[in-house]
Structure 1
Amino acid sequence: MEVNFKEIATATMVLFAVIDIVGNIPIIISLREKAGHIHSEKAAIVAAAVMIIFLFLGEEILHLIGINVNEFAVAGAFILFFIAIEMILGVTLFKDDGSSPDMAAIFPLAFPMLAGPGSLTTMLSLKAEYNTENIIIAIIVNIIVIYIVLKTSARLQKFLGKNGIAVIRKVFGVILLAIAVKLFTSNIQELFN
């Protein structure tokens, strides 16, 4: 086991930027309003499990079902695109089928928002450069931050108020839309090369 603090710090910062838990606060609040409650522990554990499993088996799983990383990222870009459209326009595209808090914690929160195509493809890139144990530590650090944000989302909602959340939701909706477009364009180019 070769623990390298520089690798851990770099991988942690890269994953933090890609996961963008701070930018996801409006989505988390919106999901909590729809589902009534979000199981923070479950969302964090599922996101961690998906990331760690994908770190070890991601490429093999994708190859097994005949999908490459770029196709996976393009599919994820579509999901992020529609979530962003919901945030910006204030419409509901995803049918609310009376999702329980358990289901909301898994989809769409744990996957594809937290452990989504962006973070999963980033992990495959990090794996090519860094030791696996350092990436696992970086994942754990990010999961702790995610858990804290999920646990405090109700207090954040009270602090920001209804108008503050509406403004942040629109702003981060545009940012999420830009991320979706970037994820789509960069990966669609790779598919045609």
Structure 2
Amino acid sequence: MIAKELVMDILTYVLTIIGILNPFGNVPLFMTLTKDQKPEVRKKMYNAIVLGGFAIVTGFIIAGDFFMNHLYKVGMNELRVAGGMILIVVAFRNLLGLGASKESSGDVMSEKDAIRYAITPLTFPMLVGPGTISTVMIIHKEAGLFISVGAVAVTFLIIKFLFMISDWLDKVLGEVVLFVLSRVMQIFIMSAGVKMISTGLKGIFIG
């Protein structure tokens, strides 16, 4: 009975985290942003996104309060502004083809560069943003360490599965569709960045 309640609690929080992370929208986006990379490099990028995202979220569950409130003395609003600025810069450079990111110009990145790009900005702040961080920290306070980490682990397993079938989705969608999506998505990424900055500034100056 206790085990059943535990599983139900974890699944409930999984749905909450999935709603924030939006993997069903982000995975196709990541496919378009990595379409020019070699299959083995894309696979390593996807693994880096999953592992990096899980590590970031779990890290904030365990030590988020200490780092934000005591070590760096910053709040979620400051994090929103910083994350929004990163998204705007990346989207702007990709959209106009300024050559800042190699995937936007059709060049193949080295494995090292690909992993770095997978961590920032694909993992943070594109997938794991201030909204996700604040949500899991609240879940931790409500449900405890075991349930919160368990819910995060299940969520990233789902994201891992979506990445595993991405090659099939790639074949279904086709190169032209992915290219168009990659350019259209930059507008939405930039808009998300503007929204994050706006929300953060309102929180800082208005409260």
Alignment TM class, shorter chain as reference: 0.7 to 0.9
Q: Unpaired segments of 5 or more residues in structure 1?
A: none
Cα deviation 1:74-125 (Å, max 9, x = unaligned): 21122233444456x4535744394523333333333333333331122223
2:10 is matched with which residue: 8, 15, 18? 8
Check the 8 A contact 2:78/2:204 in 1, yes or no.
Answer: yes
Verify: 1:162 aligned to 2:175, yes or no.
Answer: yes
Structure 1 length-normalised TM = 0.80
Whether 1:105 and 2:118 are equivalent positions in the alignment is yes
Deviation at 1:72, TM superposition (A): 0.9
Which sections of structure 2, spanning at least 5 residues, go unmatched?
A: 104-108
Output the CA distance in 2 between the equivalents of 1:105 and 1:6.
32
Question: Does structure 2 conserve the Cα–Cα contact (< 8 Å) formed by 1:51 and 1:115?
Answer: yes
Q: Percent identity?
A: 24
Structure showing greater Rg: 2
Q: Going by fraction, where is helix more abundant, 1 or 2?
A: 2
2:158 corresponds to which of 145, 151, 154: 145
Q: Which residue of 19, 44, 53 maps to 1:47? A: 53
Output the aligned Cα RMSD. Answer: 2.9
Q: 2:132 aligns with which of 116, 119, 125?
A: 119
Q: Which moved more, 1:163-172 or 1:39-48?
A: 163-172
- SS of 1:33's partner is coil
Name the residue aligned to 1:135: 148
TM-score, normalisation: structure 2: 0.75
- Show the counterpart of 1:21: 23
